[in-house]
Amino acid sequence: MTYLSKLQICDIIYYVIMNTYIKSKKKIKLGYIQIFALGFLAVILIGTLLLCLPVASKSGQWTGFLDALFTSTSATCVTGLVVFDTFTHFSLFGQIVILLLIQIGGLGFMTFIAVISIILGKKVSFYRRKSLMQATGAINLNEAVGLLFLIFKITIAIELIGTALLSIRFIPMFGFWEGLYYSIFHSISAFCNAGFDLMGRFGEYTSMTTFATDKLVLITIMLLIICGGLGFIVWRDIAKNKFKFKNYSLHSKIVLITSLVLILLGAIVTFACDYSGELARFSFGDKILNSFFQSVTCRTAGFNSIAQNSLSGATIMVSLFLMFVGGSPSSTAGGVKTTTFAVMILNSFSMARKNKSVETKRRRFSDTLIKQSSAILNTYLVMIIVAMIIIMPTVEGMGIPFVECLYEVVSAVGTVGIAMGTTAGFSVIGKIVLIILMFMGRIGGFSMFMMLNEKYVEPPITKPNADILIG
Query: How far is the C-alpha of 183 from the C-alpha of 245, rounded, in Å?
Result: 32
pLDDT tens digits for range 405-417 = 999 999 999 988 8
Pick from 325, 341, 355: nearest CA to 415: 325
Encode burial over 145-172: b for 16+ CB neighbours within 10 A, e otherwise: bebbebbeebbeebbebbbebbbebbbe
Percent of the chain clearing pLDDT 90 (strictly above):
44
60-69, 129-138, 451-460, range with greatest mean pLDDT? 60-69
Q: Is 309 exposed, middle or buried (0-12, 13-18, 19+ CB in 10 A)?
A: middle
Q: What is the structure's pLDDT at 269?
A: 95
HSE value, Cβ hemisphere, 13 Å, CA-based, for 384 = 25
Res. 471 pLDDT band, cuts 50 70 90: very low
Neighbours of 219 (CB within 10 A): 14
Q: Is 235 exposed, middle or buried (0-12, 13-18, 19+ CB in 10 A)?
A: buried
Residues with Cβ within 8 Å of 327's Cβ and at least 6 positions away in sequence, in order, are: 193, 228, 229, 230, 231, 299, 300, 333, 334, 335, 337, 338
> Any bridge partners for residue 360, and if so which?
363
Residues with Cβ within 8 Å of 374's Cβ and at least 6 positions away in sequence, in order, are: 344, 347
pLDDT tens digits for range 18-37 = 454 444 444 556 666 677 77
- The ranges assigned to domains in the chain are 31-452
Percent of the chain clearing pLDDT 70 (strictly above):
79
Cα angle, residue 147 at apex, residues 245 and 183 outer, rounded to 5°: 85
Q: H or E stretch including 14?
A: helix 3-23
Query: How far is the C-alpha of 40 from the C-alpha of 72, rounded, in Å?
Result: 11
HSE value, Cβ hemisphere, 13 Å, CA-based, for 178 = 9
Q: What is the structure's pLDDT at 231?
A: 83
